[in-house]
Amino acid sequence: MKKFTVLDLLGLDLKEHDALDLTCLCGRPGLTREITVQDLNRPGLALSGFYDKFGPNRIQIFGRGETAYLRELEDRGKTDTIDSLFAESVPCCVFTHSQIPTEPFRERAEATGCPLLQTDLATSDFSSRLIRALSNVYAPHETIHGTLVEVFGIGVLILGDSGVGKSEAALELIERGHRLVADDAVEIRCVYGNILQGAGANRALGHHMEIRGLGIINITHLFGVGAIRDNKQVQLIVELELWDSNKEYDRIGAEERTRTILGVHVPHLEVPVKPGRNVPILIETAAMNERLKQMGYFSAKEFNQSVLKWLESEHARNAYFQNKDRFRRDSHSDRDQELS
């Protein structure tokens, strides 16, 4: 992974509830400082002189309390702990609530090349947004050849050999009102340890698709912005393969098959392709079935349980009638013996 610097942090394209709203107050020569961890630190203990277990490689967050304490330290002339803070070469300092650092603090930051950033967000809100952003930056990731679409709210990753019809199936799904996330190259990141987030590997190409015989088409221009989205959690994998008459395919679906990506197990279906099969409607049905599973309803297992109950009841009924016939025969035999 390439270096992630303070300048990269300022350049993150985050919108709405993810926006950090950061501006640089001073210390611009230090914008090339690298951010190596996704943890944050509020340096209250450090400012009081306690530097044991201090995290110098973390972004330092200054809320209202820390800013007020800075002013008190400088009013009392106790600036040695501030000098110790800048001696640690921290990546940057962020002042929340639009707080403005004192002039001596800014002068020390400028002299040591430490960037001072400011945001109008509250400390808790900014911290949660920054943790989400850094979690995404440092998340394990890999690029997979396939097509990612959102079908009925389920992120479906369509895999298969080149030319099997992945893009064509996705195009039909888009025509049916579903949304394209990425085609051909899908970058998948594992965030929060167990969530696979998929997006286009090359954002510059946007939401384009390559259709053999047509060439490159722009989904946004053809179907509108409602037919695309930037990223989506991967919740189901549908692998298309050419029909093999010698292979036995799953016909019941009682066994849950998964595929592991970046250590996360994702439900995996193999769908054979041959002329006459409507692959898009199969993918739609698979997505709806996956939603039912997430809601606690497993159609195949319920079918198995119903069959078992039917077999048990049929067996019990047969056993009952067999025992009843035997009882009648025994009764007739006893009566005949008494008459004789």
In this prediction, residue 298 carries a pLDDT of: 65
Please report how the helices 64-75 and 80-87 are oriented relative to each other, as an axis angle in degrees rounded to 10: 130
Token look-up 């009882």 returns: 327
* CA dihedral (120, 122, 127, 130) positive or negative: negative
Alpha carbons 153 and 265: distance in angstroms, whole number: 19
pLDDT digits (tens, 9 = 90+) for 244-266: 878 777 666 667 889 999 999 99
pLDDT class of 233 with cuts at 50, 70, 90: very high
Residue 337 has pLDDT above 60, yes or no: no
145 is catalytic: yes
Percent of the chain with pLDDT over 70: 86
Q: Using CB atoms within 10 A of its CB, is residue 207 exposed (0-12), middle (13-18) or buried (19+)?
A: buried
pLDDT digits (tens, 9 = 90+) for 186-219: 999 998 888 999 998 887 777 888 888 888 889 9
Q: Are strands 208-211 and 236-242 parallel, antiparallel or unpaired?
A: unpaired
Percent of the chain with pLDDT over 90: 44
Catalytic residue among 97, 184, 208, 268: 184
pTM exceeds 0.85, yes or no: no
In this prediction, residue 320 carries a pLDDT of: 53
pLDDT digits (tens, 9 = 90+) for 128-151: 999 989 988 888 889 999 999 999
Q: What is the mean pLDDT of residues 223-232?
A: 91
Q: Compute CA 128 distance to the chain's CA centroid, rounded to the nearest angstrom.
A: 17
Residue 21 has pLDDT above 60, yes or no: yes
The chain-wide mean pLDDT, for the chain, equals 85
Alpha carbons 214 and 149: distance in angstroms, whole number: 20
Alpha carbons 120 and 254: distance in angstroms, whole number: 53
Residue 33: CB atoms within 10 Å:
20
Judged by DSSP in three states, 1 sits in coil
257 is catalytic: no
184 is catalytic: yes
Residue 182 has which token pair?
Answer: 């990425």
In this prediction, residue 323 carries a pLDDT of: 63
Residue 166 has which token pair?
Answer: 């992945």
Residue 74 has pLDDT above 80, yes or no: yes
Alpha carbons 189 and 196: distance in angstroms, whole number: 6
Buried-state track 296-320, b at ≥16 Cβ within 10 A, e below 16: eebeeeeeeeeeeeeeeeeeeeeee
Q: For residue 333, what are the contacts with CB-CB under 8 A and spacing of at least 6?
A: none
Written as one string, the DSSP assignment of 67-130 is HHHHHHHHHTT--HHHHHHHHT--S-EEE-TT----HHHHHHHHHHT--EEE-SS-HHHHHHHH
Residue 69 has pLDDT above 80, yes or no: yes
Q: How many helices (H) and strands (E) does the chain have?
A: 10, 15
Residue 140 has which token pair?
Answer: 């394990």
The letter for the amino acid at 133 is A
pLDDT higher for 304 or 327?
A: 304
Q: What is the mean pLDDT of residues 274-286?
A: 89
166 is catalytic: yes
User: Which range has the worst mean pLDDT, 7-21, 31-45, 202-216?
Assistant: 202-216
Catalytic residue among 2, 17, 76, 251: 251
Catalytic residue among 3, 64, 78, 145: 145
Catalytic residue among 58, 129, 166, 178: 166
